[in-house]
């Protein structure tokens, strides 16, 4: 930071940071340290006694098939959600970059889902595709597809991925449009004069130049799929059928809030914190410096 002109005041700055600091310490650091502390304890079923068990909870969590399953579910869910919503958004953004008339209108119509809560997005999709009353489910059935997201794990996963990806299209679209407009038009026109067709221009010029935007969105979408989609899972499938849509965050919630397994839930929290810290570090390391096109 460059040397700045500042106000010479001894007490005022402390008063200014006090509100944020107080809330941060009480509602962030205190519970987070509790999570770390609890993750080393084991309580008896009545919550009366607890004893210090070192890393036992972590060992238990990491050797629990249920946890490994939810790791896998989370991976499938996050990768599919990020991929589907980014691919659709990129396609639409590239198209929007080509048209001349109506760009503003398209953008306006495209940003609606951003304002829809993830849980509601999930419920809307379930309403459309529910086996009993879903109007679109009838369409699927008439095509001969056996479809039941309430009983079949794969169908349930497809449904939550669709809803999660749908909600995120607007966001990715806005960023891709911004990224595309930052690419110098002269570059693309030069390639056109040299005879490169549109598809070729896309893969050899536009797509590589979009790398920073794409990478940034990849991180954001992963974070979104990991955490913000809790509402979708909770409202639509409740982790089921079986455990086919039980993501890591949902498991922390169900082990802690529903099953009262405090130590185990806390250990999972700590593992999640490590994941968030890693993601943040990746974001800062690469997005800051920008991924560069070699």
Partner 1 sequence: MVDTPVAVAPGKATSTAAVLGRKEDGAMLGVSRSSRYIAHAVLILGIVIVAFPIYYTFVASTHTLQTILRPPLPLLPGDQFFENYSEALFGGVGRIGGVAVSTLLFNTMVVALAIAIGKIIISILSAYAIVFFRFPFRMVFFWIIFITLMLPVEVRIMPTYKVMSDLGLIDTYTGLTLPLMASATATLLFRQFFLTIPGELVEAARVDGAGPYRFFKDILLPLSRTNIAALFVILFIYGWTQYLWPLLMTNRNDMNTIVIALKKMISFADADTQWHLVMVTSMLAIIPPILVVLLMQRWFVRGLVDTEK
Q: Which of residues 261-280 bind partner 1 (CB under 8 A)?
A: 262, 265-266, 269, 272-273, 276-277, 280
User: HSE (CB half, 13 Å, CA atoms) of 90?
Assistant: 18
Q: Would you tell me how many other CB atoms lie within 10 Å of the CB of residue 136? A: 13
Cβ neighbors of 239 (< 8 A, separation 6 or more) are 233, 245, 246, 247, 250, 251, 254
Is residue 156 at the binding interface for partner 1, with CB under 8 A as the rule? no
Measured at the alpha carbon of residue 50, what is the angle toward residues 257 and 61, in degrees to the nearest 5? Answer: 55
Contact 41/264 with Cβ under 8 angstroms?
A: no
Query: How far, in Å, CA of 236 to CA of 117, rounded?
Result: 13
Return the number of the residue (16 or 68) whose C-beta is nearest partner 1.
16
Contact 230/248 with Cβ under 8 angstroms?
A: no
Which span (55-63, 73-81, 128-136, 203-211) binds partner 1, by CB under 8 A? 128-136
Return the C-alpha torsion angle 273, 275, 280, 283, nearest 10. -170
Is residue 145 at the binding interface for partner 1, with CB under 8 A as the rule? no
At closest approach, how far in Å is the CB of 102 from partner 1?
8
User: Tokens for 220?
Assistant: 């954001």
Exactly one of 76, 216, 241, 243 binds partner 1 (CB under 8 A); that residue is 216
Exactly one of 132, 144, 146, 294 binds partner 1 (CB under 8 A); that residue is 132
Which span (41-49, 63-71, 79-87, 98-106) binds partner 1, by CB under 8 A? 98-106
At closest approach, how far in Å is the CB of 32 from partner 1?
5
Query: How far, in Å, CA of 117 to CA of 70, rounded?
Result: 24
Orientation of helix 103-110 relative to helix 65-98, angle to 10°: 160
Is residue 256 at the binding interface for partner 1, with CB under 8 A as the rule? yes
User: Tokens for 152?
Assistant: 């079949």
Is residue 251 at the binding interface for partner 1, with CB under 8 A as the rule? no
Which span (47-55, 64-72, 202-210, 216-224) binds partner 1, by CB under 8 A? 216-224
Is residue 177 at the binding interface for partner 1, with CB under 8 A as the rule? yes
Closest alpha carbon to 118 in 230, 253, 246: 230
Is residue 231 at the binding interface for partner 1, with CB under 8 A as the rule? yes
Residue numbers 47-66 binding partner 1 by CB under 8 A: none
Is residue 77 at the binding interface for partner 1, with CB under 8 A as the rule? no
Which span (11-19, 51-59, 67-75, 79-87) binds partner 1, by CB under 8 A? 11-19
Is residue 128 at the binding interface for partner 1, with CB under 8 A as the rule? yes
Residue numbers 30-49 binding partner 1 by CB under 8 A: 30-32, 34-35, 38
Exactly one of 41, 82, 164, 201 binds partner 1 (CB under 8 A); that residue is 201
Exactly one of 59, 66, 72, 102 binds partner 1 (CB under 8 A); that residue is 102
Exactly one of 51, 68, 87, 198 binds partner 1 (CB under 8 A); that residue is 198
* Residue listed under structure tokens 């992963």: 222
Which span (55-63, 71-79, 97-105, 153-161) binds partner 1, by CB under 8 A? 97-105
Question: Any idea how long the chain is?
Answer: 294
Phi, psi of 72 (to 5 degrees): -65, -45
Site size with partner 1, rule: CB under 8 A: 120
Is residue 95 at the binding interface for partner 1, with CB under 8 A as the rule? yes
Query: How far, in Å, CA of 131 to CA of 214, rounded?
Result: 36
Q: Would you tell me how many other CB atoms lie within 10 Å of the CB of residue 240? A: 16
């Amino acid at each position: 930071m460059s040397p700045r002109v500042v106000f010479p005041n001894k007490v005022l700055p402390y008063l200014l940071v006090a509100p944020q600091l107080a809330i941060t310490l009480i509602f962030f650091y205190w519970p987070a340290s509790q999570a770390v502390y609890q993750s080393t304890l084991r309580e008896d079923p009545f919550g009366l006694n607890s004893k210090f068990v070192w890393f036992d909870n972590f060992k238990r969590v990491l050797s629990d098939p249920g946890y490994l399953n939810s790791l896998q579910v989370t991976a499938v869910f996050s990768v599919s959600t990020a991929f589907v919503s980014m691919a659709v958004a990129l396609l639409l953004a590239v198209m929007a970059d080509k048209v001349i008339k109506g760009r503003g209108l398209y953008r306006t119509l495209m940003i609606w889902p951003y304002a829809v809560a993830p849980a509601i997005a999930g419920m809307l999709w379930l309403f459309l595709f529910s086996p009993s009353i879903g109007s679109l489910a009838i369409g699927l059935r008439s095509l001969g597809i056996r479809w039941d997201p309430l009983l079949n794990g794969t169908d349930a996963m497809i449904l939550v991925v669709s809803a999660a990806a749908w909600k995120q299209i607007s966001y990715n679209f806005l960023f891709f449009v911004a990224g595309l407009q930052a690419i110098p038009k002269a570059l693309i026109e030069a390639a056109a004069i040299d005879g490169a067709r549109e598809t070729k221009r896309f893969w050899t010029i536009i797509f590589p130049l979009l790398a920073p935007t794409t990478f940034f969105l990849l991180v954001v979408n992963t974070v979104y799929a990991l955490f913000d989609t809790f509402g979708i899972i909770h409202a639509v499938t409740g982790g089921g059928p079986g455990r086919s849509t039980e993501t890591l965050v949902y498991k922390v919630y169900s082990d802690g809030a529903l099953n009262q397994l405090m130590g185990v839930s806390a250990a999972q929290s700590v593992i999640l914190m490590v994941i968030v810290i890693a993601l943040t570090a990746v974001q800062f390391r690469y997005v800051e410096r920008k991924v560069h096109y070699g």
